[in-house]
Structure 1
Amino acid sequence: MSEPRNTAPDAPRPATRTVGAPRFPGGPAADPAGSHHERRIRSFQPRRSRVTTGQGEALRRLWPTWGMDIDGHRVLDLEELFGGLPVVLEIGFGMGEATAQMAADDPGTGILAVDVHTPGQGNLLALAERNGLTNVRVANGDAIILLREMLPPRSLDGMRVFFPDPWPKKRHHKRRLVQPEFLDLAAGPLKPGAVLHCATDWEPYAEQMLEVLQAHPDFENTVPGGGYAPRPSFRPLTRFEGQGLDKGHLVHDLLFRRTRREA
């Protein structure tokens, strides 16, 4: 004898998201520049982690005002975007605590903060709103496309690359961000005299950074006699950095000034 059919109405299925659609309507795009068209080796690995309710709400509400996608289709007007403030580009901000602290400590400087980590984007937006910070904008996507396609020449007053992925395995060293090709791109939008500030707790990467920066004709070390710089007081000690110090890692800061050499 066959079992009776279940005649109860089907439970509603959760809405599905189209492949490539943003996780948060009106928020950061899943693939703003169309990565399938981008053939270069990526210097970052997108992290997939849970977005909290607060981060998701911040993305939905604040992204249309304070966020932007790096799509490579337009050149940014930084003066309009930041109301005439001098602008520093920060590449890779993690969860945004240090970025928010630097923005609060220096409200006269705009920070264009770039990352691909969605929870971090939402967290930084929430921190900016909570602390009344109007000098932060969050960009989603590949910083290389931003530098190459979307920033005018001599439009940045500084650039920060704090604790980029060290790609410790030798076969992955080609993925490290701070390479001669990156410096070629970074030199274009940096104003003469602007400082590129890098920091890492991975000793071999610090050595590579120092080597390529010292060899590049568009940058000069701000440290008399060369070498690493002391940690500037304006760079907050982050939780990530503290964990590295607890493990015995040495943190190296490198501050190199854009020279006035004409291209």
Structure 2
Amino acid sequence: MGTSEQARLRTVVSYVKRGGRMTVGQQRAWERLWPSWGTTVVELPEGPIDFADWFGRQAPVLLEIGSGMGETTARLAAAEPEVNYVATEVYEAGLGQLMLRAEQLGVDNLRLVHGDAVDLLTGHVAEEALSGVRVFYPDPWHKKRHHKRRLIQPGFVALLASRMAEGATLHLATDWADYAEQMLEVCTAEPALRNRHDGWAPRPDWRPVTKFEQRARDSGRESRDLVFTKVTP
């Protein structure tokens, strides 16, 4: 990925900074768990994260981008104890809620990063370090004039692919049909990725149905999944 594309990725952000305080429970979880579970992108030392040191073990590293309020992330991390599960999110309240949920499930294979995924991947994740990447229901930016702010763009997908090991999977999901088509087009055009299915992937039973996905169903919007594998171009 060229310098100009990196610059574009840093200037077109895919999220809006929202206000909102943490609840008492979220704040307590933050005070109790953040020192060992979490870090912010801006506080990371220069260079790639040593994931084995952070988790205290060698294991495949799976990155989830945009963990929201954590109802899916906590359950997925609990279901995959053999994986070093990293979740990145820009909203502190969401990270606080995720820690609450994970603690209730007895999760100990989860680490959290507060901040922009582009900065994390560009400056702090080594090439071919990830065994998988998940991006579930990113902000759809459904108005046409805002499509440029969508996360899944050619430059970002190229960046993701460069951080994925050969054979690693990129799993995307959205309930907005035009965004799903954009995801399919962008990922198909990336030479380092290959679609594992003929078009859409079946919706996996292991991914919990969140309240947001249920609302989409109630509104008549169908969720679509895509699963791509990192290959040698």
Whether TM exceeds 0.5 here: the answer is: yes
What residue is the counterpart of 1:19 in the other structure?
none
The structure 2 residue matched to 1:134, chosen from 108, 112, 121, is: 108
Counterpart CA distance in 2 for 1:252 and 1:93 is 18
SS in 1 for 2:30: helix
- Is 2:75–2:105's contact at 8 Å kept on the other side of the alignment? no
Deviation at 1:143, TM superposition (A): 0.1
The structure 2 residue matched to 1:151, chosen from 103, 125, 150, is: 125
What residue is the counterpart of 2:211 in the other structure?
239
Counterpart CA distance in 1 for 2:149 and 2:98 is 26
SS in 2 for 1:159: strand
Deviation at 1:260, TM superposition (A): 2.1
Counterpart CA distance in 2 for 1:46 and 1:88 is 25
- Is 1:51–1:118's contact at 8 Å kept on the other side of the alignment? yes
Gaps of 5+ in 2: 1-8
The structure 1 residue matched to 2:37, chosen from 66, 70, 76, is: 66
Higher relative contact order, chain-length normalized (CA < 8 Å, sep 6+): 2
SS in 2 for 1:188: helix
1:47 and 2:7 are equivalent in the alignment:
no
Provide the TM-score with structure 1 as the length reference. 0.82
Alignment of 1:223-238 (within 5 A): 223=197, 226-238=198-210
Structure number, greater radius of gyration: 1
| Identity between Structure 1 and Structure 2 (%) | 46
- Which stretch of the first structure deviates more once superposed, 176-185 or 126-135? 126-135
State the number of aligned residues.
222
Deviations 1:80-136 (A, max 9, x none): 222112111000011001001111111111210000111110011122222211111
Q: Whose helix fraction is larger, Structure 1's or Structure 2's?
A: 2
Alignment of 1:65-144 (within 5 A): 65-71=36-42, 73-82=46-55, 83-144=57-118
SS in 2 for 1:166: coil
Deviation at 1:234, TM superposition (A): 2.2
- Which stretch of the first structure deviates more once superposed, 195-204 or 40-49? 40-49
1:207 and 2:178 are equivalent in the alignment:
no
- Is 1:195–1:258's contact at 8 Å kept on the other side of the alignment? yes
Deviation at 1:215, TM superposition (A): 1.0
SS in 1 for 2:120: helix
